[in-house]
Amino acid sequence: MFRIGIDDTDSPAGMCTTYLAAVLIRRLHRAGVRVIEARLVRLNPNVPEKTRGNAAICLVAEGSLHTAFHLACRAVEELAEMSHEGTHPGVAACGQVPPPDFYLRAVRGFCTVDEAISLLGEWGALFKGYKAGRGLIGATAAICSHFDDFTYELLLYRRRARFGTPREVDRQSLFAADAVTYPHTWDTVDRENGIVVCVPHTPDPVLLGIRGERPGWLALARESVVSERPACEQLFVTNQGTDAHIVPGEIGRLEEGHSYLVGGAVHSRAVTIRGGHVCLPLTDGKMMLPCMAYEPTRGFRDVVRALLPGDKVRAAGSYKRGSLNLEKIEVVSAPPLLLSRPPLCERCGKRMTSAGTGKGYKCRRCGGRKGAPGVVAVPRAVSPGWYEVPPSARRHLARPLCRGVREDFLRACTSDVQPQDPPGNDHGSGLHA
C-alpha cells in the first residue's frame, strides 16, 4: 500500500486538482493500480498564494508505486494549468505514512517547499516539483494526512465539450435533494437565502459537489439531482466540514494567518462599516480583538449586531490583519437588558416622575414619594447558543453546526474574562442602563 499526493494544478481560469485525480484514478485502474481511497485534503485557507480552496489530493493505492508515480506526473504534465503564473504543481509518492505533523502544520499554519522536500527525502518518497514546486507542500501534507474527523464529498465532472459553458443543473432538484437528506448532507443549497451553493461559477470541470456525513446519504441526494450528463463522478473522503484548521486561542496571542476559537466578552456594540461589513470588538478584560462579519454572511450579521457589552461569547474564525473573520459564534450569555425607570405610585398606580437629582421620585397626582427606581427587564433579540455564517459564505473546512461542535474545543476555550481595570464595571451583571 502506498500514497500519492498531488497539489497546485489549477488556476482561477480552470482545472481543478480533484478532476485531475478523478482522471488519474481511472488511468491507474487500467494500469493495474487499485485506488482504495481518494482523499480531498483542504489546507490552510489563509495561505496568501491561494486564491481558491487550497485543496490537495491524496490517493491511497495498491500496486506498483513507480507506475503510479509515473502516471501521476504524466497527468499533471497533461492537465495542469502549467502556463498560469501562479500554478506550481507538486507530485509525491511514498510507501510509508509519515507522522501527521506536517499535515497539521499545513492545515493550521504555514510550511515551506524546503521543509516538504526534506521530509520527502527522509521518508524515501518519489517526488517531482514543477516550476517553483510549491505544490510539493500540499502533496507532502496530503501524504501525511490523518483525519481525526472526516466527511465525504461526491463530485460530478463535466464532459470536456461543456467546459466553460453555463452549467445545466435543475435548481428545484437541488432543493429537493437537500430536503430529503439534510442534515446528513449540507451546503447543497442555502435555504435561508434561496441560493444554490453546490454548483460552482468558475470555468473549471466541476459540475457540482454534494457534501455529507456518509456515502449513502450522498447517493440518496445524488438520485434527486437533475442535470446535464456528467463525464464521471468521484467520491472523496475529506477533512471538509471538520474545523481541522481551528485551534483554541487567546486574545492578544493570535498569529497572522492562523484560525482560532477564542472566548471573551463583548466590549462595545458592533459597528456596521462601509460595504455592510460588521465589526464587533471582543475583550478578555485586558486586550481587544475586533471580530468581522463580512457582508456576504448576510443574516449572521444581525446576530452580531444584537450583542451588547458584557455578553460572553466564543468566536471561531481566521485571524487576518489584526481581526478575527467570524465563521461561527457561540453566545454563552446574553442576560436581559435591565432598564431603570420611575416606579409606579403605590397609592394611585400612576407612573411617578423624578423629584430631582438624588431626591427619588414623586407622584404628580397624589404627591406620594418613593426612593428607588423600578427595574424593567427587556428581552434580548439574541439568545444563548451557536450561530454560523450561511452555507453560501461558509469555508470548506468550517464545521457546519448541523454536525455539532467539537467538544475538545469547548473544554479548551473559556469565555470567562479577567476583571477589568478599574474593576466593578457591568460585565456579567447584565445592568446596561
Which amino acid would we find at residue 387? Y
Q: Binding of Zn ion at residue 363 (CB under 5 A)?
A: yes
Question: DSSP 3-state assignment of 117?
Answer: helix
Q: Which triple of cell numbers denotes residue 357?
A: 437629582
Cα distance between residue 138 and residue 220, in whole Å: 32
Nearer to Zn ion, 63 or 343 (CB): 343
- For Zn ion, which residue of 29, 253, 347, 369 counts as binding (CB under 5 A)? 347
Q: Binding of Zn ion at residue 369 (CB under 5 A)?
A: no
Q: Which triple of cell numbers denotes residue 145?
A: 494526512
Of 249, 380, 406, the closest CA to residue 310 belongs to 380
Closest separation between CB of residue 369 and Zn ion, Å? 9
Cis preceding linkage at 183, omega within 30: yes
Write out 175-232 in H/E/C secondary structure: HHHHHHHCCCEECCEECCCCEECCCCCCCCCEEEEEEECCHHHHHHHHHHCCECCCCE
Cα distance between residue 54 and residue 8, in whole Å: 8
- Letters for 128-157 (x = contact with Zn ion by CB under 5 A, - = none) are ------------------------------
Closest separation between CB of residue 356 and Zn ion, Å? 18
- What is the separation, in whole angstroms, between the first and last Cα of the chain? 67
Q: Binding of Zn ion at residue 334 (CB under 5 A)?
A: no
Q: Binding of Zn ion at residue 366 (CB under 5 A)?
A: yes
User: Which of 5-13, 197-205, 366-374, 396-404 is the region at the interface with Zn ion (rule: CB under 5 A)?
Assistant: 366-374
Q: Binding of Zn ion at residue 362 (CB under 5 A)?
A: no
- For Zn ion, which residue of 265, 293, 307, 345 counts as binding (CB under 5 A)? 345
Closest separation between CB of residue 420 and Zn ion, Å? 41
Q: Binding of Zn ion at residue 364 (CB under 5 A)?
A: no
- For Zn ion, which residue of 12, 63, 360, 368 counts as binding (CB under 5 A)? 368
Q: Binding of Zn ion at residue 342 (CB under 5 A)?
A: no
Give the interface size with Zn ion as a residue count (CB under 5 A): 7
Footprint of Zn ion (CB under 5 A): 345, 347-348, 363, 365-366, 368
